[in-house]
Amino acid sequence: MALPPEAFGVLLRDLLAERDLSVRALARQVPIDAGQLSRVLNGRRTPSVNLARRCDEIFGTGDILARAARQARAEAAASTAPTPGPGMADQATAASDALAGERLRGDDPDVSRVWNITPAMRGFRGRESEIAAIRGALDAASTGGPTVAVAAVHGIAGVGKTQLVRAFAERYRQDYQLGWWVAAETRLEMVTGLGQLAVRLGAMEEWSSAELLTYVFEHLRRRDSWLLVLDNATGPVDVEPFIPPAGGSGAHVVLTSRNPTWRLLAAEVPVDVLALDAATELLQGHCPQEPQEVARCLARELGQLPLAVAQAAAYTAEAEISTGQYLELFRRERTRLLGCGRALSYPSTVVTAVTLSLERLVKVNPMARR
């Protein structure tokens, strides 16, 4: 997705504010002279691609800052290039507008392959009532007119919202002409994800973010059925500008969120932990020879949270240990983690199960530690 030349400084300032990190602190991590970094932030110095890559590593932003730096350097180079002859710029603009017009009239790429939603994790089972609830909420919100139906799947961390929506998308894939998954925790992620969809649908990478968003909305407005997933959305105010305003009778947006307050924007689909029987069945599916009572005990210890249960089931299968042995490991590890006094964004049961899995991965493959 194309970014304006000033995007690097804007993005980096936002990231610094979000992490409560000073310019000097970032300069020490890069490392770079703090004065040079300040000039980059203020647009008085063009960022180097190496600086951008290092910042991407520090903030975990993929290659977004590197692309913004390359765009800024390209713009700087273009500004010093010879001025084209009379009429050349107008001709280029007219050609670009004509191409965009042709695409918007319906000469779009084949959208049958536009689907980036991966299936639910191996071993996902159950949740039939929740899958039906998502479908029911979308059907109820569909008016038959151009309005887009929106459903918000909400629940605590680790309850399985993301995997549930992946399973829903897989179940009903044949009903949609297009499906696209967008990380939605920040505005930057949504701009990037929808921009990538625009390019996949035929937009030009050089277009601005606003142009790409307009292109996506116009394309989806003319499509009868599509599914857009906004994963890990923070709240209605942040997400609403990125929800397409119109679409066909099968135009659906599904949000996942820890925030339960979506009533004014979407049909709410609350998600709870697994039923005890379902969690027990999932554990026994990997160790059918285990006594049911041991599996039920572990399911309770795991809080019946799908993510923790799935991690435990996979661990017992791969390590070839019993459910009872895993339960002992789990209790010891949870006590150690809680003793560290760290603030956890996920419930301690999930963190403990994931930590055990990571520790086993490192033992099996020492390179994974890197």
116 and 261, same domain (yes or no): yes
Domain final residue pick, 235, 270, 305: 270
302 and 321, same domain (yes or no): yes
Residue 81 burial class via C-beta count within 10 angstroms: exposed 0-12, middle 13-18, buried 19 and up:
exposed
Q: Which domain holds residue 191?
A: 111-270
233 and 360, same domain (yes or no): no
Q: What is the pLDDT of residue 89?
A: 36
Residue 336 domain-assigned? yes
161 and 191, same domain (yes or no): yes
199 and 315, same domain (yes or no): no
What is the domain count for the chain?
3
50 and 192, same domain (yes or no): no
Residue with tokens 């697994």: 274
222 and 288, same domain (yes or no): no
148 and 48, same domain (yes or no): no
Domain final residue pick, 238, 270, 302: 270
Q: In what order do the strands lie in the sheet with 250-257?
A: 179-183, 225-231, 250-257, 149-154, 267-270
Query: Could you tell me the mean pLDDT of each successive run of 10 residues in the chain, 370 residues long?
Result: 59 80 87 81 81 88 82 69 41 38 44 82 79 94 80 87 93 95 92 93 89 94 94 93 91 94 93 84 73 86 79 77 82 61 47 54 42
CB 255 within 8 A of CB 262: yes
62 and 174, same domain (yes or no): no
Residue 47 domain-assigned? yes
Residue 101 domain-assigned? no
CB 150 within 8 A of CB 268: no
230 and 128, same domain (yes or no): yes
* Angle subtended at Cα 318 by Cα 317 and Cα 322, rounded to the nearest 5 degrees: 45
Q: What is the pLDDT of residue 152?
A: 96
What is the distance of C-alpha 178 from the center of its chain?
A: 17
280 and 148, same domain (yes or no): no
Residue 102 domain-assigned? no
Residue with tokens 């918000």: 152
